[in-house]
Amino acid sequence: MSEAPLILLAAGGTGGHLFPAEALGVVLMKRGLRVRLVTDSRAMRYSGLFSADMIDVVPSETVRGRTPWALARTGVMLGAGTALAIGLMMRLRPAAVIGFGGYPTLPPLFAARALRIPTLIHDANAVMGRANRLLSRRVSAIATSLPGVLDRDPELAAKTTTTGTPMRPAILAAAAVPFAPLDAEGPLRLLVVGGSQGARVMADIVPGALDKLDPALLRRLALTQQVRDEDMSRVRAVYDRLKIACELAPFFSDLPARLAASQLVVSRSGAGTVAELGAIGRPSILVPLPGALDQDQFANAGVLADAGGAIRIVQGDFTSERLAAEITALAADPQKLTAMATVARTVGRLDAADRLADLVMRVARI
C-alpha cells in the first residue's frame, strides 16, 4: 500500500501563524493525509499538534531595515533557507505546500514553486501581510479569513477563496460554551490579554482604570489578566490595594476556556484574537497595536467593531479614564453585552478548517 499524500504546512513561529496551521493539520489528518510543519526555530517551543519529529526547521530572516547591509543579510538568509527547503522538498515529495504567513514561509514556498509543487497561502488579516504579498502572485491559490481582502486586484481575487480562520480544537470546544449574561448584582468576569507585544500597555492602563471604578462595581470584578514578569509586582500591588479578586500570569495555557468564561475581553486585535472572539462570541474592547506599516490590527478590530461586537480604541485614546468609562457603561447595560456577544458570534466561522481543507485537496489534486 502506498503512503498517504503529504501536505507540508509552512508557518512563522508565533501562535497567530501556528494555530491555524495546527487546526488545518487536525482536519487533514482526520481525512487520512500526512502533515508536517516547516517553520523557524521559535516553533520548537510549540507544544500543540506537531511533535518534534513532525517539524522541519528552515532558516529565514525578517526584513529588519532598509540599509544595504540589512537587505543583503535578509537576502542571504532567505537564499540559504530556500536551498535547504529545495532539498527538503525533494526528500519529502509533498503533494502541496500551504503557507500561513510570516517570513519563515518564504523559503519553503519559493522552493515549492521552483519544483512545481502546488502551493496555497492563507492570510488571516483584514490587510494581507508582507510575506504573503510577496508570495501572492507566485502561488496556485489564496485563502483569506475575511471577504474583500483582495477585491482591488482582479488577478489575485480570481484565485482567492474566503475560508475563515481555521480554529484549533480548544477554540471549537470553547465555542460550544454559551455566553453567560451579566447579572446586575453578579460578578463581571473581565479578561485582559495583550500577547507578546501588548501586555505592557495593559499593565500601564488597566490598573489605573480599575482604580477609577465605583467601589460597588469593583467588588463585583472577577479579573484575569496577562501580565509580563517585569510588570507583575507593580500590577499586583494595585490590585492588592483595591482588593480585587484576580488571577495574573504571563501566559495562560488554557486561554480558550478563559475566553469562554469571560463576559468582557480587553485585548490587542491580532488576526487570531479577532477570529477567536468571533468564533466563541464574546464582547470586547480592542486596542490595535500602533505603528504597524499596514495597520492590520486596526483593520482587524474594525471587522468586529463595525458589526457591533466590539469597541475599538486606538492606543492614543486608550487611557485609564476612557477604559474606566467604557467598563462602567457596559456593566450598567447587561443587554448590550449580550447583544455584542451575539453579534460577535456571527463574524466567526467554525467550519473554516474544513473549508480550507477542501481547498487544499483541490489544489493538491487529491
- Please indicate if the annotation marks 16 as binding a ligand: yes
- Please indicate if the annotation marks 15 as binding a ligand: yes
Q: Report how far residue 236's alpha carbon sits from residue 246's, in angstroms, rounded to the nearest whole number.
A: 9
* Res 13 pLDDT > 80: no
- Please indicate if the annotation marks 258 as binding a ligand: no
- Please indicate if the annotation marks 132 as binding a ligand: no
* Res 186 pLDDT > 80: yes
Which of 192, 190, 247, 244 lies closest to 215, judged by CA?
244
pLDDT digits (tens, 9 = 90+) for 330-346: 999 999 999 999 999 99
* Res 275 pLDDT > 90: yes
What does each C-alpha distance from 70 to 75, 77, 84, 133, 294 come to in angstroms? Answer: 9, 11, 21, 20, 21
Position with higher pLDDT, 66 vs 5: 5
Give the three cell numbers for residue 91: 526528500
Is there a contact between 104 and 122 (Cβ–Cβ < 8 Å)? no
Confidence of residue 89 (pLDDT cuts 50, 70, 90): very high
- Please indicate if the annotation marks 262 as binding a ligand: no
Assigned CATH class of 172-347: alpha beta
Q: Within the chain, which residue ranges are assigned CATH 3.40.50.2000?
A: 6-167+351-364, 172-347
* Res 292 pLDDT > 90: no
Is there a contact between 226 and 249 (Cβ–Cβ < 8 Å)? yes
Assigned CATH class of 6-167+351-364: alpha beta
Q: Report how far residue 191's alpha carbon sits from residue 254's, in angstroms, rounded to the nearest whole number.
A: 13
Q: Report how far residue 275's alpha carbon sits from residue 293's, in angstroms, rounded to the nearest whole number.
A: 21
Stretch 76-94: mean pLDDT: 89
* Res 198 pLDDT > 60: no
Mean pLDDT for the chain? 91
Angle between helices 334-347 and 271-280 (to 10 degrees): 110
- Please indicate if the annotation marks 12 as binding a ligand: no
Among 44-58, 270-284, 310-324, which stretch is predicted with the lowest mean pLDDT?
A: 44-58
| Whole-number percent of the chain with pLDDT over 90 | 75
Q: Report how far residue 267's alpha carbon sits from residue 322's, in angstroms, rounded to the nearest whole number.
A: 15
* Res 72 pLDDT > 70: no
Non-local CB neighbours of 204 within 8 Å, separated by 6+ positions = none
- Please indicate if the annotation marks 297 as binding a ligand: yes
